[in-house]
Amino acid sequence: MRAREDPIYSSFLLSLGNGELQSGENELVKLPQQIVRQPTHGGPDPINDIASVAFPELDHSEFNSDTSRAILTPMNDDVDAINSVLINKFPGKAVTYRSYYTLLDDKCNIYPAEFVNKPCPGGMSPHELVLKENCPVILLRNILPSYGLCNGTRLLCKRFTPNLIECVITIGHHKGEHVFIPRIKTRPSPSANYPFQFQRNQFPLKLSFTMTINKSQGRTLSQVVVYLPKPCFSHGQLYIALSRARTSKQVTVMSTNRQDLTTDRLVKNVVSFTVLRLADIIS
């Protein structure tokens, strides 16, 4: 329905969502040629190409405060890597917030601080949260749903203090309203299976230049760049990524695998992938 203004692309999305493009469980999905783009520089790391397509103004140290664009990728590790590159390109002075942690089941103090600070499971902010004025962020927890502060709300940072961040809501009925985000205590999901339990005191925010595909569900975006360094979890996840825009002209698919790109980018429906990183994908 979102892509009904582009009948050909809408028909492709419908077939993809219904699983009609695969004759078997582990078959490949062939994407339309017009949405596939090869990296310009031809290197193994296409992040600069991805940034130039989704946020071309960052090449000139500018940002037009448009949060209806995003880079989508299956894994949280890739989300964090791309966001780190883009915040360095973002104009302005960086402000870094470091979290405070508490170990819940370590009575012998056997885990050093560097080890506890490194994990960043889905749904939790990183230990070091680097932000700049007017940079786009996404809320990771329900704080006050009646005022628009829900999990998944996109905001722009405006002012920073040690224990509060002033932001502006950019989507929904409360768009344009100024809100204050406090530090809160969060814990990783039990499904993450860490050998220790810890609690992190940090702002429930994350940069939103890039999001996981699952986090983008329900959104309509004006420009979508899908980065696929690894196969999608299933054709359903691929369908979610490609259906965030209204037309095929607003969708670009990029990958580090040049052979895949030159053959219209084939994406596997790998069911066994659930055993490897299901907790990371769901977040």
My answer on whether 184 and 147 are in the same domain is: yes
Q: What's the pTM?
A: 0.81
From CA 60, how far away is CA 63, in angstroms rounded? 9
With 0-12 / 13-18 / 19 or more C-beta atoms within 10 angstroms meaning exposed / middle / buried, residue 256 is: middle
Q: What are phi and psi of 166, to 5 degrees?
A: -85, 130
My answer on whether 130 and 202 are in the same domain is: yes
Q: Answer yes or no: is pLDDT of 104 > 80.
A: no
Q: Answer yes or no: is pLDDT of 225 > 60.
A: yes
My answer on whether 131 and 242 are in the same domain is: no
The pLDDT assigned to 279 comes to 39
Q: What are phi and psi of 2, to 5 degrees?
A: -65, -35
The pLDDT assigned to 143 comes to 92
Q: How confident is the model at residue 109 (pLDDT cuts 50, 70, 90)?
A: low
Q: What is the mean pLDDT of the chain?
A: 81
My answer on whether 100 and 67 are in the same domain is: no
Where residue 39 sits, what CATH number does that domain have?
Answer: 3.40.50
- The pLDDT tens digits for 47-70 are 888 888 888 888 777 787 778 889
- The pLDDT tens digits for 235-272 are 788 899 999 988 989 999 986 554 443 333 344 433 33
My answer on whether 66 and 83 are in the same domain is: no
Residue 220: CA count within 13 A, CB half-sphere:
7
Q: Which domain holds residue 41?
A: 1-74+213-283
My answer on whether 219 and 168 are in the same domain is: no
The pLDDT assigned to 270 comes to 35
**Domain finish residue from 184, 209, 234:** 209
**Domain finish residue from 167, 187, 209:** 209
My answer on whether 88 and 192 are in the same domain is: yes
From CA 186, how far away is CA 239, in angstroms rounded? 31
Sign of CA dihedral 171, 177, 182, 184: negative
**Domain finish residue from 191, 209, 227:** 209
Question: 203 or 108: which carries more pLDDT confidence?
Answer: 203
My answer on whether 200 and 145 are in the same domain is: yes
- The pLDDT tens digits for 226-236 are 998 877 777 78
Return the closest-CA partner of residue 232 out of 258, 266, 207, 209: 266
Provide DSSP, the chain. -TTTTSHHHHHHHHHHHTTTT-SSTT-EEEPPGGGB---SS-SS--HHHHHHHH-GGGGGT------SEEEEES-HHHHHHHHHHHHHHSSS--EEEE-EEEESS-SS--S-HHHHHS---TTS--SEEEE-TT-EEEE-S-SBGGGTB-TT-EEEEEEE-SSEEEEEE-SSTTTT-EEEEE-EEE---GGG--SS-EEEEE-SEEE-SEEETGGGTT---SEEEEE-SS--S-HHHHHHHHTSSSSGGGEEEE-S-HHHHHTT-EEE--GGGHHHHHHHHH-
Question: 197 or 39: which carries more pLDDT confidence?
Answer: 197
Residue 82 CB partners (closer than 8 Å, separation 6+): 47, 50, 51, 71, 73, 209, 210, 227
My answer on whether 156 and 33 are in the same domain is: no
My answer on whether 168 and 223 are in the same domain is: no
The pLDDT assigned to 108 comes to 61
From CA 255, how far away is CA 36, in angstroms rounded? 9
My answer on whether 62 and 180 are in the same domain is: no
From CA 75, how far away is CA 253, in angstroms rounded? 15
My answer on whether 41 and 93 are in the same domain is: no
Q: How many domains would you assign to the chain?
A: 2
